[in-house]
Amino acid sequence: MGVFDLENIGFDINSALGFTGGEERLYSAMALFEKAYPQMCEKLKGFADEANNTDFSITVHAVKSNARMIGATALFKIAEQLELSTKEGFYESFNDDLANFFELYKEAVDAIKPYAKGKNEEAPAELIGRGEAMDILHKLSESLDEYDDTESAKYLKKLDGFFFNDELRKVLDEAAKQLDEFMYDEALECVNKVIDAMGE
């Protein structure tokens, strides 16, 4: 059974490979997606119960982006619908759409389990947010500037827990490649490009 079998149930694997930059990266993204599932469900249910449409819309946006990254097309579409529809508040058919969303979310997580687990020898990195990713990028920049390969490799590994877009992920992959060859200045240049692109 290969990952392309997921296309039989509506996944767009070619698109997912394009976003993640390769099969191993896709497996890592799937592992992170599966790991985040309970926490994201809890947050969304809580925001819905509180009628907190602002935080609901922000959180469902994160699910939408990550669903797109792993090729979960049906989940991406309904998450996008919920994101746009709840920006101004909850609506009459919201509960029905939310139930459908959670059903598709569970189906997507169940579908990727054979690929999210056991495809990588190492455990997936801890899921991190944008703020923590920026902190780690700055620490990585400092460690590269000090020619510390051990700390730099540690920070690069931690950054696997953030969903960078395809372009920035490729830049970080290049930084890792340069670090492997002890090309610290070149790796530092790559990392600083990512920092600049993310707004700091």
State both tokens at 186. Answer: 């070149």
pLDDT tier, 137 (very low <50, low <70, confident <90, very high otherwise):
very high
Kindly tell me if the per-residue pLDDT of 169 is higher than 60.
Answer: yes
**% of the chain with per-residue pLDDT over 70:** 94
The arithmetic mean of pLDDT across residues 73-77, rounded, is 96
Higher pLDDT, 28 or 152: 152
Helix 130-145 and helix 184-197, axial crossing angle in degrees, nearest 10: 150
Distance in angstroms (rounded) separating the CA atoms of residues 75 and 91: 20
For 98-112, what is each residue's pLDDT tens digit?
A: 999 999 999 999 999
State both tokens at 70. Answer: 């792993």
Q: Residue by residue, what is the 3-state secondary structure of 36-90? A: HHHHHHHHHHHHHHCCCHHHHHHHHHHHHHHHHHHCEHHHHHHHHHHHHHHCCCC
Domain boundaries, the chain: 3-116, 130-197
For residue 147, the SS3 value is coil
Average pLDDT of the chain to the nearest whole number: 88
How many Cβ atoms from other residues are within 10 Å of residue 200's Cβ? 8
- Class assignment of domain 3-116? mainly alpha
| Least confident interval from 41-50, 101-110, 134-143, 151-160 | 151-160
State both tokens at 105. Answer: 């979310």
**pLDDT score for 120:** 44
Specify whether the CB–CB gap between 152 and 181 falls below 8 A. Answer: no
pLDDT tier, 118 (very low <50, low <70, confident <90, very high otherwise):
very low
**% of the chain with per-residue pLDDT over 90:** 56
